[in-house]
Chain A
Amino acid sequence: MEPSTRRWFPGSNRAASGFTLAAMPSLCRDCLHHDATPFPDACPRCGGRRLVAHDELETLSIAHVDCDSFYASVEKRDRPELADKPLIVGHAGGRGVATTACYIARRYGARSAMPMYKCLELCPHAVVLPPDMPKYRRVAEEIRAIFAAVTDCVEPVSVDEAYLDMAPEHRRGDAGAAVLLADVALRVEQEIGLTVSVGLGPNKFLAKLASDMNKPRGFTVIGQAEARSVLAPLPVERIHGVGRALAGRLTAQGWTTIGHLQALGEMELTLRHGKLGRRLYHYARGLDERRVTPVRPAKSVSKETTFRRDLHRLADLEAELAGLTDSLAGALARKEVAGLTVVLKLKTSGFRTLTRNRRLPEATRRAEVILAAARLLLARELADSPGDSYRLIGVGLADLCPAEQADPPDLFAPGGEGRP
């Protein structure tokens, strides 16, 4: 089945207004005026034209809120002179990737996660700033405080995006979910000076899809009713959990769009792709049972770096490892966690990524213990594949536990000193 007509994005300002005659709840994003009947072209109260109208506007409760080009926007906010210039946040000169490209830089084709050199090829006059993570974390905290004012159920996904469960039992105050979300967007603009894009839907998958549809400063609604038709023309990669590898397998079977998957039965997908197939079946229909879980404890903590030049000597790699381990230990201290499994990550010059694990006898948060284990893994890997060179090294800690359970007292503490 090949979906023949491309539909407009639903839920956006003009969504659905073309064919629905019945009472459709509407909301003005500028003054929060709302009504159970549709507004004409502009808000009857303030004349604003940023309107949202959707049949399910009053019942949908799962939102995804995403900051627009977060790092770049924070930097532009703090340096007004950059406002009209293309800006890329990332490490200049290195071989790393751009962390964020602002919307001006994106017009030239630069993208977040694109290799830096490529961004600069496309947009040579871009201003490049190194990321200032502590600052972004501070701003993210301020934004989360605004989220927390409208619901008690916020699941941060990363520093710049979060799911909000706006169901009546979670949301604060009498206003509906859509009104509260529009208010969140306004407050972030006014109080923090950044813009966000909001997606509202019946579940996490559709909410995330929606927030992505009209960036920046968007407010997009996808209801369960139109989920199938909205999804049908989209490429399979847009499904949560479908990466390059799976997309390749699906494409090889001739299934390039979500519409193709919709034509398949649950049994067929499950037989071909196992558990994942079942998920594909449901996601393709816009069904997603995942709940918004307020605290999502980290599964692992890690640090990695891409080198300016490929490295192959053990001593050089160990030196990089030592620096990373120190910053890892810093992150563990901040998060007040420790872990039982040390993970070494390497990327070869041929872009093969490998990870090696080592389970420690006791959980630790100490840099020297992590480093010792990581060095062992590194030495073993280099001995196993002599001649390889590497472009990236990373070290992490998994099987996390509270810090107080780590590093039990040792009879022969460092330096061979036992307790008296």
Chain B
Amino acid sequence: MKLTIERTALLKSLGHVQSVVERRNTLAILSNVLLTAGPEGLSLNATDMDLEIVETAPAEVVGEGATTAPAHTLYDIVRKLPDGAQVELSFEPEDGQLTLRSGRSRFALAALPAGEFPAMSSGAYGHTFSLAAGELRSLIDRTRFAISTEETRYYLNGIFLHAADNGGVAVLRAVATDGHRLARVEMPLPEGAAGMPSVIVPRKAVAELRKLIDEADDDITVSLSESRIRFAFGSATLTSKLIDGTFPDYERVIPTDNDKLLEADCKLLHQAVDRVSAISSEKSRAIKVSLEKGSLTLSASSPEAGSAVEEIEAGYEGPPLEIGFNSRYLLDILQQVDGDAARFAIADNASPTVVQDVADQTAVYVLMPMRV
């Protein structure tokens, strides 16, 4: 195997695949990236056995072939090469080393045989549809903050992606929750997605996917089977196992008849919550919202830090009400609202509150109150 590649192109592709590789691996081969030189250029492949990214970069291939080398080391080296450099990669099976040459630098890296590299079985994908990069980005960005990190509730450790029916309109929905807040975002169901299986995309796949989307302009092809999801970009493909679990029946925890409505300027409210929460206890982060006709008062207190109060104008016509929230969760949600105003639909201080962007009904956020 022998090829020459521009440092910029190699760095970009390595950057995409290397973050899949775990820092600590019991299997040495999983620390490596599979490098395959072929007619298309250089293909890079990294996996943690649950998630795989394959990316092809343009390269001048002199001799075809394949090998594997430590992903983080390789990335580190390429990162430190000067901008605009040309990189030569070569591998001779007999010396078992990948040689990297650039300018006056020469590196010899311990290689492991390409044949040992675990391939994720491709299997058959029953459903395939296309999404604009912007659409997928919006589904992810407005839900991922609510993904649970509690490993014991593994079925909440991802985004639940499925086809649904909203008042007769077929939609593609992304839902994430950690039990304290929930985000449900939808878009018109893309062609070909009807009848797709409902799947839970793991958090790590979501994070890597999000990085790839940033550089994608074209449509993204999504392929689904019962156990896998694949996102195909121009030159990169991300394949992930799905979380094998049942996502809870989220619809029943989204209240539909909360009658106390509050409208507030989203930016002002965000800033005020941010300020007042500086006082709230590090462990509970509780903040109290007191509502009266036309106004909203935020307050927080902690035995160590003291207390804080801030009042802002708000559209509220209901009876006086006090309700507590985790300030961080409230901020997370307010951050998702792009429009000027957020609408809160509240039942009482113990039941879930619904938050929406007044100007955009495609996203619904649910927030569980706290005892304050």
Chain A residues with a Cβ under 8 A of chain B: 340, 360-363, 369, 372-373, 376, 399, 401, 404-405, 408-413, 416, 418-420
Given A408-B180, A410-B179: A419 in contact with B351 (beta carbons within 8 A): yes
Nearest neighbor of B182 in chain A, beta-carbon distance: A411
Q: Are A410 and B150 in contact (CB under 8 A)?
A: no
A376 touches B180 (CB 8 A): no
Which chain A residues border B30 with CB–CB below 8 Å?
A: none
Specify which chain B residues have a CB less than 8 angstroms from the CB of A411 in the assembled complex: 177, 179-180, 182, 253, 352, 366, 368
Segment of B10-18, B35-43, B83-91, B281-289 engaged in the interface with chain A: B281-289
Number of interface residues of B (CB under 8 A): 27
- B177 engages A412 (CB within 8 Å): yes
Task: Find chain B residues with CB under 8 A from A408 CB.
Answer: 180, 284, 326, 368, 370-371
List the B side residues contacting A369 at CB < 8 Å. 152
Contact across chains for A409 and B368 when beta carbons are under 8 A apart:
yes
Question: In the assembled complex, which residues on chain B have CB atoms less than 8 Å from the CB atom of A376?
Answer: 151-152
Decide: B370 and A361 in contact? CB cutoff 8 A.
no
Interface residues of B in 317-360 (CB under 8 A from A): 326, 350-352
Please report whether the interface of chain B is mostly helix, strand, loop or mixed according to DSSP.
loop
Q: Which residue of A376, A401, A409 has the most chain B CB atoms within 10 A of its CB atom?
A: A409
Contacts A411-B177, A412-B177 known; list 13 others, CB within 8 Å: A361-B150, A401-B281, A405-B286, A408-B326, A410-B180, A410-B368, A412-B179, A413-B179, A416-B248, A418-B253, A419-B253, A419-B350, A419-B351
Please report B residues at the A interface, Cβ cutoff 8 Å. Answer: 148-152, 177-180, 182, 248-249, 252-253, 281, 283-284, 286, 326, 350-352, 366, 368-371
In angstroms, Cα B249 to Cα A416, docked, is 8
Distance from B255 Cβ to chain A, minimum over Cβ atoms (Å)? 8
Report the separation of the CA atoms of residues A192 and B313 in the bound assembly, to the nearest whole angstrom: 64
Given known contacts A361-B178, A412-B179, A416-B248, is B351 in contact with A405 (CB within 8 Å)?
Answer: no
B350 near A409 with CB under 8 A, answer yes
Give the nearest-CB partner of B148 in chain A.
Answer: A361
Q: Check B182 against A373 for contact (C-beta < 8 Å).
A: no
- In the bound complex, how far is the Cα of B350 from the Cα of A418, in angstroms? 12
With CB as the reference atom, state the residue of chain B lying closest to A383: B26
Report yes or no: B368 in contact with A401, Cβ–Cβ below 8 A: no
* A409–B179 CA distance with the chains assembled, in angstroms: 8
Contact at A404–B180, with CB atoms within 8 Å?
no
Measured CA separation A152–B178 after assembly (Å): 46
Alpha-carbon separation in the docked complex, A413 to B180 (Å)? 10
Residues of B contacting A401 in the complex (Cβ-Cβ under 8 angstroms):
281, 283-284
Task: Report A-chain residues with C-beta under 8 Å of the C-beta of B149.
Answer: 361
Chain B residues whose C-beta falls within 8 Å of the C-beta of A361 in the assembled complex? 148-150, 178
21 contacts between A and B (CB under 8 A): A361-B150, A369-B152, A372-B152, A373-B152, A376-B151, A401-B283, A401-B284, A405-B283, A405-B286, A408-B180, A408-B284, A408-B368, A408-B371, A409-B369, A409-B371, A410-B179, A411-B253, A412-B248, A416-B248, A418-B248, A418-B253
B371 contacts A404, CB within 8 Å?
yes
Q: In the complex, which of the residues A363, A413, A418 contacts B283, with contact meaning CB atoms closer than 8 Å?
A: A363
9 closest Cβ pairs, A-B complex = A418-B253, A405-B284, A372-B152, A410-B179, A401-B283, A411-B253, A412-B248, A409-B368, A408-B370
Contacts of B249 in A (CB 8 A): 416, 418
Q: How far is the CB of B333 from chain A (nearest CB, A)?
A: 14
B243 to chain A minimum Cβ distance, whole angstroms, is 15
Chain B residue nearest in CB terms to A404: B371
Residues of B within 8 A of A363 (CB): 283-284
Given the complex of chains A and B, what is the CA–CA distance between A403 and B333 in angstroms? 27
**How far is B157's CA from A376's CA once the two chains are assembled, in angstroms?**
15
A404 to B370, CA, bound (A): 10
Chain A residues with CB under 8 Å of B151's CB are: 376
| A418 CA to B152 CA, complexed, in Å | 18
* Shortest beta-carbon distance from B158 to chain A in Å: 15
- Scoring B179, B366, B370 by chain A CB atoms within 10 A of each residue's CB, the highest score goes to B179
**Knowing A416-B248, A416-B249 touch, does A360 contact B369 (C-beta < 8 A)?**
no
Select one of B253, B326, B369 contacting A412, CB under 8 A. B253
Q: Nearest A residue to B283 by beta-carbon distance?
A: A401
Contacts of B283 in A (CB 8 A): 340, 363, 399, 401, 405
From B286, which residue of chain A is reached at the shortest CB distance? Answer: A405
Q: Chain A residues near B148: list those with CB within 8 A.
A: 361
A420 contact set on B, CB distance < 8 A = 252, 351
> Which residues on the A side are within 8 Å of B352 (C-beta)?
411, 418-419
| Residue ID in chain A nearest B284 by CB atoms | A405
B residues near A410, Cβ cutoff 8 Å: 179-180, 368
Interface centre among A340, A372, A404, A411 (most CB of B within 10 A): A411
Residues of A within 8 A of B281 (CB): 401, 405
Question: Nearest Cβ in chain B — how far from A397, in angstroms?
Answer: 12
CA distance A360 to B253 in the complex (A): 23
Shortest beta-carbon distance from A377 to chain B in Å: 10
Contact status A418-B252, CB under 8 Å: yes
Nearest Cβ on chain B to A381's Cβ, whole angstroms: 14
A418 to B177, CA, bound (A): 12
